[in-house]
Each structure stands twice: as C-alpha cells, then as structure tokens.
Structure 1
Amino acid sequence: MFWIPIDRTMDMPLIRQVYEQIRMRILHGELVAGECLPPTRELASSLGISRNVVVEAYEQLIAEGYIEAQQGSGTYVAEGAYLDKQEKLNCFTFFDKQQIKEETNDVIDFRSGLPALDMFPRKMWGQIAKQVCIDTSHSIFGYGYPEGRIELRHILARYLKRTRGVYCHSDQLVITSGATQGLSLIASLLLSPGDEVIIEDPITHEIQTIFTSPGSTLHPIPVDEQGMKTDLLPANKRPSFIFVTPSHQFPLGGVLPIQRRIQLIQFARTTDCYIVEDDYDSEFRYHGAPISSLQGLDPDRVIYIGTFSKILSPALRLGYLILPPSLTKRCKDLKWFTDLHTPSLQQLTAARFIKDRHLERHIRKMKKIYQGRRDHVKKCLAEQFGHHVNILGDSTGLHLIAEFQNITFSDQKVEEIIKKYKVKIYPVEQHTIQKGTHQNKVIIGYGNLTIEEIEEGIRRLKEALTSEGK
C-alpha cells in the first residue's frame, strides 16, 4: 500500500504535502525509475483527500520531470531523478509542528531587543493597511524605487528632525528591510579586503560578523559607563569608518557625552572617515528626553541607522539609512542589486501611521509599560541576589545589564541554565572582541516578558546559580 502522512493542522497545503513527499522519495531512491505510482483516484481514497489534490500534485511532478504519464498505462517514476545519498537534500519533515512545539514550551527567554509582541497596535495598523490598499493607485502594486517610497522618506525626515535632532533631506534616506540590511549595505559600500573598522567593544556579535565578511578587520575600543572611550582612538589608524551606538551603547547601556562625541567627530575629520551611528532603541529613555543624535552634529560625516523592529515589531522588516549626499547614489544602486525595493504597501502603511501621530502615541504608551517591566526586573534581582548583583545601563531601551559578584558566565554555563531550569540569559562575553573583560555580566531583556514571567525567570535563575554551587 502506498502511504503518505497527511497533516491537516499544518499551514502547508495538502497539494504541497503530497508533492513534496513523493518528490523526496524519488530523489532518495525509495521510488525507483520505472516504478508505477498508484492511480490518482486510488491514492486520494486511501489518504482521505480530494482526487483533485492528487491530480495537481502529479501534474506538478510531471512538469518538473520527476514522473511521466504513459497514455493508457499509468504514471511512472522517470529516469535520472535519483540523487545520490551523499548529496541528497534533507528529508521532508513537518517543521511547522516542531516550531510550534518550541514556541509553546515554558522557557523564559530574557532576549534583548525584542519588543512586547502582544502590544503591537495590530487593529490600527490593520485599518491603515486596508485603507492603503483601497485608496492607493494601482501603480503601487508594481516595482518601486530602491531608495523607498517618497511618502515614507519625506515623513521620516521631518519626524526624525523633530524627535531625534537628525538633519537630512528625504533624498538622503534609503528605506531598508530592517537594520541588518542597512548594516550590510554599509559594509558593501565602504569596506574592501584589508580595510579596518574602529568599533565599540563589546558590540553585538552579528554586527562583528557583517563588518568582517568583506575581509576587513576590527579595531576594538573598550567602552565604560559613558560609551566608547574616545581617548583610546588610535592616532596611527586610517579606518574606513567608526561604528558606535552613542545614545544607548549595546550591550552595556552607556550614553556618549558631548565631549566624547566631539572628540569622535574630530578624529573622523582628521582621518577622513565616516561615523556609523546605530540608533536602535533610544526612543525608550526613562530619565529625561531621548538623547539627540550624533548625526545632527555633523550630517556630512555621520551615517545614521534606524529601525522599526524595536519600536513596533521585527516582523515589519522596516529600517532606514540616512547618508551623506556623497554616498546616496552608490547606496541606492547597491539596494537595487540586493532586493530591488522594500515592500511598498508596508512603507505606505508606516508613512500614514507616523503622519497621523500613532507612532508617537504608541511610544508613549510602551515607554510606561517597559519602565514598569524594567523596575520589576531590578526589584526581583535585588530580592533574589541582594548586594551580590549590580545593575548597569538601565536608563534606556529594552534591556539592562546584571553584573554578578564571584560568578563567571560561560557558554556552557548558560546552556546548563537553559537545559535544567528553562530560563535563557545572554552573557555579555558573547559579544566581546577582546575576551575575558566582562565574564560576570549578563544581558537581561524584558521587553517581551510579562511581570509574572520576569518574576518566575529571575527565581529560576537564582535556583540555577545556587545549584551550580555559586
């Protein structure tokens, strides 16, 4: 009997399930050349599905050359469709069910940079998206420009000047599919093999990977409670650019004071290099107004990166670059080669969301919520660990740093905590370039955790560390 497992709970259509499983059996030699497949009516009956499903799956397999129909005889596996097992593709599996299983377990994940996903303004966003689809010209459904929709670029330029002290023309804006694409564009734009980047240390490991991928090297500058220690900038270096997170250093949380900002700009002018400013979550500042951008001090020298992933949702895949005029043409060309353009409907929805002040209202609302979650993290850490823990970098953003006494966090240690106590934390040491300097610090993200989850997660962390003899 020819049997194919069918899972009606999956998002994958039944036609695709039938097609994929027959295809993989042919590739792996489980169905050999010349073997006759069951008639469509017979297979549909045995699986309890519509015959049309099997017919369409067979037609797709015929179109791709896996099987062939012989008039009046039947449907057979074609010659030459077997792929040697040493080179075979991964077997078809139900990945969706595995993902659901992983997402619904009870691990408490203190991941940084993740906003409150349940607080996304889906009703308002959906209403605007629907209206955009109805109101806009049919041309919106065609190809766009690599730099993005003028509506969003124009509104963003005004919004960022008012809220972040950014000075630019809309022509200097390039809309990206998130900050990661923006960072990759900068690497392609400015780096060649053998080039050097001056960068904060620690800094997110993903950014290190992006900037070294063209064959360039990193020159790390240590950070303290005020961000990059600009007095350590090397006089003998001629970097392609300097990378900083001045409004909220990641991960330690320092804010670069004006004296260091000026020193940084003077160094960039002397060495004729650019400064790349990653302004990833500075909207959520809990003491005073948000810190003004570095870009506003020298718009011709600073490349500014922004994203909606931390403010609204990573699922939007919306970010932006603000470039000096001398770089905009080359960046637009690179963006075109990457993906032609960022989705237009998403851009127009974001433009109207910002224009109608929904974004600012959402930020004000979330600022109160995140501040409450931050305060609860601090309270729980104090209750569980007392004077054995010190809190750093908690004035802004969606995470803070917990510095422990007499505890060294390693990858193995973190794995043990995850495995045994179902809590996930992130050592700062994972993001360091010069190792051994921050082994007693961990990143505690709280944006996407409830008060109850925060309390339970810190309790589990205490149990895990106590059980390890700490």
Structure 2
Amino acid sequence: MLWFAVDRERDKPLTRQVYEQLRDRILKRELKEGERLPSTRELANAVGVSRNVVLEAYERLIAEGYAEVRPRSGTFVASGSALPGGGEAGERDRENGEARDGRPQRSEAPRPVIDFRSAHPAMDRFPRGVWGRLAKEVCLDSPDRVFGYMSAEGGAELRGVLARYLHQARGVRCRPEQIVITTGATQALYLITELLARDDAPIAVEDPVTDEMRTIFAYAGARIRPVPVDEKGIVTDLLPEDEKPAFVFVIPSHQFPLGGTLPIQRRIRLIEYARRTGCYIVEDDYDSEFTYEGVPVHSMQGLDPERVVYVGTFSKILSPALRIGYAVLPEPLVETFRSRKWFMDRHTSSLEQLVLARFMEEGHLNRHIRRMRSLYRKRREALVSRLRESFPDAVILGESAGMHLVVELPGTDMTPSLADRILAHGVAIYPVERYAIVKGAHRSRFVMGYGGVTVEAIREGVDRLKRALSSAD
C-alpha cells in the first residue's frame, strides 16, 4: 500500500502536499508508467486525510497529465510522465522556496504568480452586503419547515423564479417542475451521465473540452467519443454515424476552450442528428450571461426542449462557494433524475436556495450581471490591447463573450515544459493541448482567463509572458 506522511502543522495545504508527494514519485519513477494508483478512499485511509483531499490531488494530477482515468478501471500513471534523471522536481521545489526535504528555505519570497486561470469570477465583487442582509432575513423570517428536509428537486421558490429568469435571459422553455436544483453543475453533469450513458453507448464530446468534463464522464463510467471543434464550435459534419451516442455534450454559447459561438445552421444540424439517432443533447451554458459584442444567442434548449438537457450554474455569475447549479430536463427524465439526486445527497442547501430566490426576485442578480459585464469588458479590452501590442502576430479567438480567450502564437510550440518556464517568470497560462482528447491540433494555442485578474495585473502578466517567451527563444 502506498503511504507517505503529511504535516498538518505546515502552512502548505494538505491537498498540495498529497499532490506533490504523488507527482514527485511519478517524476522519479517510484510510481511507474501504467501503474494503477490506489483508489481515493484507500489512499485517504492510508495517509490519514479526507477523501476530498485525495480527490482534488488526483484531479490536479490528471489535469496536468501525470495521471489518466481509465473507465471502470481506475486512475493510472500516464505514459511519458517520468523524468529521465528525476531531479527536476527538486529543482522546481527550490524555485518555489522549498528545500528537497520540504522545509522552507530562508530565501527571498517569490513574487506572486499572476494566474490567468479561466472560469474564475471576480470574487472580490461578490455582493456581500445584499447577500448577508437577505441571509439574515431568511434565517429570521422563514417558517420552521425550511430548517428541515427539502424535496430532492429543490425549493419551489427558487425553481419558479429560475424558470422565469431562464425564459427571459436565455430563451429556455420549461415549467418549474422540469428543473432540479443540484450542488453545482458538476453534480448535474455526473447524474446526467449516470442516467443516460448505458449499454456502453459512448458520449460524443467536443474536443478540446475542459478536463473537468472528461473526468466527470470517466468517473461515471462512460466511454468518450471525441468530435472536433473549430472556431465556431462543434463540427456537426463529424458527429458519429457508426454508433449512436448516449448524448452529445456541447457548450454552444461560448465553447471552452476555443470560445466559439455555435451558429444556428450547426445548431439545427445537431438537433436533426439527435432526433434521427434518438439521442439527447446536453447543453452546458456556464457563462453565457457575459456577452460583449452583439446580442447573446439564446439556448439550444429553446429550439427543442424534448431533446436538450440544459445545465447551468451560479458559480461563474456569483461565486463558486454557493454550490448551486441546476438541470432543466425533458419530461421523461425528470423523475429518474430526481430519484438519483435524492440518493446522492438528499437535497441542496435549503437556506442558500431561499436566499438566492430572494436575490433574484428583488432584481439583484440582473444588476450584478450588468456590473460584472462592464467589469469583464474592461478586463477583456485590457488583455486584448496588451496582447496585440506585445505579440503583433497573435491570433485571438473567442474574445466576444465569457471570461476567457484563446491566444494563438504562430510558430510557438506551447509544450508543458514551456508553460513551466513561463510559470517560473510569475505568470500562469494554460495550453489548449492539455484540454485536447486527440493531441496535436492546437500546439500553438493557450487559454487566458481574465475574470479574476485586475487590469493592472493583466498588463503586468502579459509583460511577464513576453519576457518569458523571449528568454525561451
């Protein structure tokens, strides 16, 4: 059984300690390529930490390519993940201010990294005052039943106001009874996969796509069938014809990572495909509220409510801390989905649902979205402007919506080692290749998120990026 010590007295989080212990063993070939890692429960028991700590560490290893998930088999050390000499990990630890034994070095503290991670909202702009007032009112004014168990599908108050909001803002056509409130979009997507992915039918998934989605589908035991994406979104002419998928997963309003908006012609072809094959479309609509050019495109669900499962979240609009997402389901799927939700965690927080319902009813959500749209527009403009000044040959994709864009630098091979060198200069960017299922088509592209980065940090971050790439030539 794999074992190592963690130190609860250190400032370093337990998740990072577990991740680094595993990463270093992989780099030094103590864990060999193709070797199966212990289950998250086994390792948590052996090390003496919670399972969530190990889950987060595994997710980071998977995201960075050190490990891979094999459906129905477990998590394995990925091929090509070990260093020939095994010494670079120690060097990187010293760059991060640590000696080989993990003790902090007495050296100058490294400057903070400017992290262009995508899908991170400006958390300093969360409306704490209004939210706090409403939370107090809900606690003081609500009847006793609110403090008991709630139905699995969520409270009627939130589902009612959410149905009206989605119709007005996103063109979604549904009754409140078709909405199930979930503990974030992650839970919604996991439950959808368990519900629909049966009899070894694959999931047709956009490629590239966020690694989180691949992990969700794999943990649910599904087989993934990649479908290429271009600057307009999923290439519908390449949908599988040799086998019927359980569903087609798309992010049509602002594809991640390439940022395209699926045009109506492809939306219609996708719906025709779903009708012909009898499969569903799962639409992830995670940041569509933030559109900066033209009018936001309505949801695919509004075109065919019987074939589209619509998934959304408040993590990107408000805060990931809320853990409130939702699924809008065709009528035949509602009851089974509701039952699975009940068995997973009974119901999502009743009090936060009520606070959110009041927040929406009183108009605070729409005002917050308008303020954030203005803020993100300024940050996007600052990023685009600085990129064009610093990299005249750069091609910028997906800049008209959302909280991230993609930069293409012709002639640059954005390898993991180059990303590490850029990180050593104090800036974090994310190669598109890390999100690709089929590798090799996006080697000169990388993702830059700007939602949680100030204008000043954006400019400094691009300057650091330019210096890093110049030093790598």
Aligned to 1:179: 185
Aligned length: 380
Deviation at 1:104, TM superposition (A): 10
Aligned to 2:432: 428
Q: How do 1:104-183 and structure 2 match up within 5 A?
A: 106-183=112-189
Q: How do 1:55-134 and structure 2 match up within 5 A?
A: 89-90=47-48, 106-134=112-140
Determine if the alignment matches structure 1 residue 442 to structure 2 residue 446: yes
Deviation at 1:216, TM superposition (A): 2.5
C-alpha distance 278-104 of structure 1, shift in aligned 2 (>3 A):
farther
Judge conservation of contact 1:287–1:395 (CA < 8 Å) in 2.
Answer: yes
Instruction: Give the counterpart of 1:415 among 404, 415, 420.
Output: 420
Give the SS at the match of 1:438. Answer: coil
C-alpha distance 343-242 of structure 1, shift in aligned 2 (>3 A):
same
- Distance (whole Å) between structure 2 residues aligned to residue 91 and residue 161 of structure 1: 44
Deviation at 1:237, TM superposition (A): 2.1
- Distance (whole Å) between structure 2 residues aligned to residue 91 and residue 156 of structure 1: 38
Judge conservation of contact 1:230–1:264 (CA < 8 Å) in 2.
Answer: yes
- Distance (whole Å) between structure 2 residues aligned to residue 416 and residue 193 of structure 1: 45
- Distance (whole Å) between structure 1 residues aligned to residue 260 and residue 445 of structure 2: 15
Deviations 1:112-151 (A, max 9, x none): 0000010011111111111111110011111111111110
Q: How do 1:367-386 and structure 2 match up within 5 A?
A: 367-386=373-392
Give the gaps of 5 or more residues in structure 2: 1-6, 13-44, 54-97, 99-103
Deviation at 1:430, TM superposition (A): 0.6
Aligned to 2:398: 393
Aligned to 1:323: 329
Deviations 1:276-306 (A, max 9, x none): 0000101000012221000000001100000
Deviation at 1:233, TM superposition (A): 1.8
- Distance (whole Å) between structure 2 residues aligned to residue 163 and residue 104 of structure 1: 44
Whichever residue aligns with residue 352 of structure 1, its letter is: R
Q: How do 1:15-414 and structure 2 match up within 5 A?
A: 89-90=47-48, 106-192=112-198, 194-387=200-393, 389-414=394-419
Give the SS at the match of 2:341. Answer: helix
Judge conservation of contact 1:280–1:306 (CA < 8 Å) in 2.
Answer: yes
So what's the TM-score if we normalise by structure 2? 0.77
- Distance (whole Å) between structure 1 residues aligned to residue 353 and residue 338 of structure 2: 17
Give the SS at the match of 2:283. Answer: strand
Aligned to 1:80: none
Judge conservation of contact 2:190–2:220 (CA < 8 Å) in 1.
Answer: no
- Distance (whole Å) between structure 1 residues aligned to residue 357 and residue 295 of structure 2: 24
Determine if the alignment matches structure 1 residue 458 to structure 2 residue 416: no
Judge conservation of contact 2:209–2:257 (CA < 8 Å) in 1.
Answer: yes
- Distance (whole Å) between structure 1 residues aligned to residue 297 and residue 120 of structure 2: 21
Aligned to 2:472: 468
Deviation at 1:218, TM superposition (A): 1.6
Give the gaps of 5 or more residues in structure 1: 11-86
Deviations 1:188-238 (A, max 9, x none): 111136220111111111111211233332221111121111112232221
Whichever residue aligns with residue 417 of structure 2, its letter is: Q
Whichever residue aligns with residue 282 of structure 1, its letter is: S
C-alpha distance 90-375 of structure 1, shift in aligned 2 (>3 A):
same
Deviation at 1:335, TM superposition (A): 0.5
Judge conservation of contact 1:274–1:303 (CA < 8 Å) in 2.
Answer: yes
Deviation at 1:367, TM superposition (A): 0.5
- Distance (whole Å) between structure 1 residues aligned to residue 385 and residue 163 of structure 2: 39
C-alpha distance 453-193 of structure 1, shift in aligned 2 (>3 A):
farther
Judge conservation of contact 2:181–2:324 (CA < 8 Å) in 1.
Answer: yes
Q: Which shows bigger deviation, 192-201 or 375-384?
A: 192-201
- Distance (whole Å) between structure 1 residues aligned to residue 450 and residue 303 of structure 2: 32
Judge conservation of contact 2:158–2:354 (CA < 8 Å) in 1.
Answer: yes
Whichever residue aligns with residue 164 of structure 2, its letter is: R
C-alpha distance 105-123 of structure 1, shift in aligned 2 (>3 A):
farther
C-alpha distance 324-244 of structure 1, shift in aligned 2 (>3 A):
same
Aligned to 2:88: none
Whichever residue aligns with residue 406 of structure 1, its letter is: G
- Distance (whole Å) between structure 1 residues aligned to residue 247 and residue 213 of structure 2: 14
Judge conservation of contact 1:193–1:215 (CA < 8 Å) in 2.
Answer: no
Deviations 1:41-64 (A, max 9, x none): xxxxxxxxxxxxxxxxxxxxxxxx
For the pair shown, which has the larger CA radius of gyration, 1 or 2? 1
Deviation at 1:342, TM superposition (A): 0.3
Judge conservation of contact 1:384–1:459 (CA < 8 Å) in 2.
Answer: yes
- Distance (whole Å) between structure 2 residues aligned to residue 89 and residue 412 of structure 1: 30
Judge conservation of contact 1:399–1:443 (CA < 8 Å) in 2.
Answer: yes
So what's the TM-score if we normalise by structure 1? 0.78
Judge conservation of contact 2:153–2:180 (CA < 8 Å) in 1.
Answer: yes
Judge conservation of contact 2:208–2:436 (CA < 8 Å) in 1.
Answer: yes
Give the SS at the match of 1:296. Answer: coil
Whichever residue aligns with residue 226 of structure 2, its letter is: P
Aligned to 1:21: none
Judge conservation of contact 2:193–2:222 (CA < 8 Å) in 1.
Answer: no
Give the SS at the match of 2:391. Answer: helix
Whichever residue aligns with residue 464 of structure 1, its letter is: A
Judge conservation of contact 1:195–1:215 (CA < 8 Å) in 2.
Answer: no
Deviation at 1:6, TM superposition (A): 11
- Distance (whole Å) between structure 2 residues aligned to residue 365 and residue 230 of structure 1: 35
Moved over 6 A (4+): none
Deviations 1:163-186 (A, max 9, x none): 100000111000011111111111
- Distance (whole Å) between structure 1 residues aligned to residue 49 and residue 170 of structure 2: 50
Aligned CA-pair RMSD: 2.3
